[in-house]
Structure 1
Amino acid sequence: GWNRGLRAELRMPGREAVAVYVAHLPSVRMGPAGFGAGRRDESARLLGAALADEPRERVILLGDLNGTLDDRGLEPVGAQVTSGPGFAFSWPARFPVARIDQIMTRRATVTEVWSLPATGSDHLPVAARIRW
């Protein structure tokens, strides 16, 4: 089983329910053969399939995807949800140079994404504004 994600429903008065996914994909690791992204890529395929099968029209994905949005391994996810403008570099927390933590939506618009102050994690938290 894949235990690196959670699905919940957000219900707001006067609006249809929104499916909310929280996911933490496996890290890409350096090994003798170079970068090992197989576990992360397989998890991205599983997450992409779950998003494709999601019956709710509106979806929010919050996740440490361990890859930037231009990473080919994340294409199954990016085919289902989109992100918004903003640098929001989140990793490593001491000197962030990459945005590997994402807030993405389907049938909603991420209008802005930004990083928050350090919390003691090796990632900075990320926040976003979403327009329905």
Structure 2
Amino acid sequence: MTEEPFATTQPSRTRPQPMPVSNIPHSVSSASRPDVRPDEQPDARLQAELARAGCALWLATLSLMTAYMHQQAAAHRALLARRIARNLHTLQGLECFGEDCRWRFGRLARKWEQCGKPCETRGHASLGATLRNALTSFR
């Protein structure tokens, strides 16, 4: 039996499939809730879609946090921080996440709100204020 050095078959190219509802943490599905009757299936389906959307928003928020860390400009960082805080507040209100998880989202949102405030309110002088003070001292 001789083996060919190169495989002649191409790997199959399949589209990535969405994550099954059972793998989404704290998701609500009819299988995990015995009180859901068969006539309530559309509601369970909507809850599962909401859970998927919540996971997608969480992943997008993590991407924004990465962008924040790579950004050098203070103004851009403040805008990113405000957007992150808004996303975290939205995640805090989603019931598809557990109570402990939503509490953590709320705590993170408050911290990111502080990062999004202008420099003057955090006790640091902004670049504009520093330049104004420097220019007025030369007069």
Structure 1 length-normalised TM: 0.29
More strand by share: 1
Structure 2 length-normalised TM: 0.28
More helix by share: 2
